[in-house]
Structure 1
Amino acid sequence: MRHVIALDVGGTGMKAALVGADGSLLYEARRETGRARGPEAVVEAVLAFAGELAEEGARRFGEPPAAAGVAVPGIVDEARGTAVFSANIGWRDVPFRALLGERLGVPVALGHDLRCGGLAEGRLGAAHGVDRFLFIALGTGIAAGIGIEGRIEPGAGGASGEIGHIVVRPGGIPCGCGQRGCLERYASASAVGLAWARAGGGPGATAADCARAVRAGDEAAGAVWQQAVDILADGLLTALTLLDPAAIVVGGGLAEAGDTLFVPLREAVGERIAFQNRPEIVPARLGDTAGCLGAGLLAWDLLAGSAGRDHTRRTEVTA
């Protein structure tokens, strides 16, 4: 059976799969990233894991993989096939496409992990059939993928979708990006956890703890949660005004709160809309497999190619 290798490399773990032409997961595996051993060791772990997957595919299906797709965090230069920088892992200018191509002997597509997640949600998940959507991940930080007519838009410099760094409270909390008052400093899962810890949740409190307290009727937790929802709605209104998406797909840790998040968020966005289109606001469907699936889709897109377009760029932007 014809198949491709898909790898989603995270700060703590790697998810991998053999993916069929229809996007089906034919085989799945996971490994620790091992970042404590240093960036060079992580790169070697990725290469070794890909080699294991190639052997597994040959054993299961009687033929080698047709291609490989890899999703990585940080700054990604898809045109050169290079992982430019990752603060979490510590690597710089890793030529993954060349390294994996040499190890596996097949074409390799490299993409950004968040945009790969959006790619998968657009083709296989919650935004399937939607021409224009925003995929937003509410985790340690906040980032987004912009889906436009069957592709995920990377921007001129590969940094589109950085909605977490929209300034929603000018002069507010300092952000690691150098600005003050960024959206992710108020409405990410980590920000909600910190706010709830200060407001009564105690040291080590998380956003999930805050959500549980909200459901239990805790007024202090309710105030923390509503502030985050209101500020998130402020940020989304800017995105609606600029992008006019038909749907907003929300994933990441905060989305696991379910209706505790989605009911007040839909209401808060609705209250802010003036002339803007009112989008559907829906939870992501693919969970933590989205990035891996997206990497597989990149590999299939690489094989398919596109008339009149450079295939190395298509791997990053086509959905």
Structure 2
Amino acid sequence: MTVTYVVGLDVGGTSMKGGLVTRHGEVTSLEGRPTGRENGPEAVVAAVRAYAGELAALGTARFGTPPTGVGLAVPGIVTSTRALYSTNIGWRDVPAAALVPPGVPARLGHDVRTGGLAESLFGAGRDAGDFLFLPIGTGIAGAVVIGGEPYGGAQGWGGEIGHAPVWPAGEKCACGQIGCLETYASASALARRFEARSGLVATAKDVVALAAGGDPVARKVFDEAIEALAIALASYVLLLDPSLIVIGGGLSEAGPALLDPLGSRLAARLAFREPPPLRQAALGVHAGMLGAAVLGWQAAGVGDAGRDWSLDVPLDVLKGGTVS
């Protein structure tokens, strides 16, 4: 029996993750590839196209037919058909067709909103119509999910909560503003601020571990990050009243060490209402690729793809197995 499938490809600033996903959610992932952004935006376009072609060839060999669509999650300002601009990559106005093998329908999505789409359909937000997906990694961005659909705003800038000021007289952010959430609470900020105060080089994971072990410098840096998150999330909750906040990205791996104090700080800033629950993302680093696969099925004309997928197997099976 012929198996139909799509290619899902998550393009990051430094690397790409890709996989083949059937209509019923069976996943075969391929080892990631570098984007090669140090060689310029044209090289990144070529690298994405080559990786998409490699995935398509793998699918053709395995299933006996080419993919029916390709979905790509990319950073920056994006429409469903064009990658308009990305500061991380440097490309401008790249059509979707330039990133995929000739003749295959393709659809683009913003990387964070695409991850939010996956969490909404079959991840941590599947039982919540309105929630915030907040991946905390090198930077911080959010996917505002309303009525089960990611909301990008009037011009595609929706969800930039990482650049919401939390301390207007605070540190300068790389974006040029003052006191942004990302300056205090991103994984890179934790490492940078700890090193500046202690003189020791550490990762964000190290800082969290040191804080849990009682290191005073790490504890102070981590506390300030949690307070910054609580301030930003309190404003978001009061404005949009989400039923849930899903925390993703590398920092979410801290689990209760992050979520428990953050929940308490958020509750303390919401005097007249209960805070929404905080939940760790279910899809981890696979969210972007799986969301991209949903976009690939949309490009192929299947608008309800993903709604019947489930996560009843361990996530590590995604490295070479299935979501079924």
TM-score (ref. length: structure 2): 0.89
Distance 2:127 2:24 in 1: 16
For residue 19 of structure 1, report the CA deviation from its aligned partner: 0.8
Amino acid at match of 1:59: A
Uncovered stretches (5+) of structure 1, i.e. residues with no partner: 308-319
Q: Cα deviation per residue 1:274-295 (whole Å; 9 max; x = unaligned)?
A: 2344211011111111101010
Distance 2:228 2:238 in 1: 16
Distance 2:47 2:218 in 1: 42
Distance 1:88 1:203 in 2: 27
1:43 aligns with 45
1:85 aligns with 2:79: no
Of the three residues 249, 253, 257, the one matched with 1:252 is 249
- 2:125 alignment partner, SS class: coil
Q: Mean Cα displacement is larger for which, 274-283 or 291-300?
A: 274-283
Q: Cα deviation per residue 1:222-279 (whole Å; 9 max; x = unaligned)?
A: 1221111011100000110111111100011221222211111111111111234421
Distance 1:67 1:110 in 2: 11
Distance 1:68 1:151 in 2: 20
Alignment CA distance shift 1:31-1:65 (3 Å): same
User: Residues 138-287 of structure 1 correspond to what in structure 2 (within 5 A)?
Assistant: 138-200=136-198, 202-287=199-284
For residue 23 of structure 1, report the CA deviation from its aligned partner: 2.9
Amino acid at match of 1:24: E
Amino acid at match of 2:14: T
Uncovered stretches (5+) of structure 2, i.e. residues with no partner: 305-324
Distance 1:301 1:115 in 2: 15
For residue 178 of structure 1, report the CA deviation from its aligned partner: 2.7
Q: Cα deviation per residue 1:106-156 (whole Å; 9 max; x = unaligned)?
A: 211001111111111111211112111100011121100011112111111
Distance 1:127 1:24 in 2: 20
Amino acid at match of 1:62: G
For residue 36 of structure 1, report the CA deviation from its aligned partner: 2.2
Distance 1:100 1:214 in 2: 43
Distance 1:44 1:302 in 2: 21
Amino acid at match of 2:271: A
For residue 306 of structure 1, report the CA deviation from its aligned partner: 6.1
Distance 1:199 1:282 in 2: 31
For residue 14 of structure 1, report the CA deviation from its aligned partner: 0.9
1:295 aligns with 292
Distance 2:302 2:294 in 1: 12
- 1:164 alignment partner, SS class: helix
Amino acid at match of 2:47: A
- 2:142 alignment partner, SS class: strand
Of the three residues 107, 110, 113, the one matched with 1:109 is 107
Assess if the C-alpha contact under 8 Å between 2:194 and 2:200 holds in 1: no
- 1:146 alignment partner, SS class: strand
Q: Cα deviation per residue 1:23-68 (whole Å; 9 max; x = unaligned)?
A: 3313433111122222111111111111121111111111111111
Q: Cα deviation per residue 1:44-98 (whole Å; 9 max; x = unaligned)?
A: 11111111211111111111111110111122133xx221222222212211x12
- 2:217 alignment partner, SS class: helix
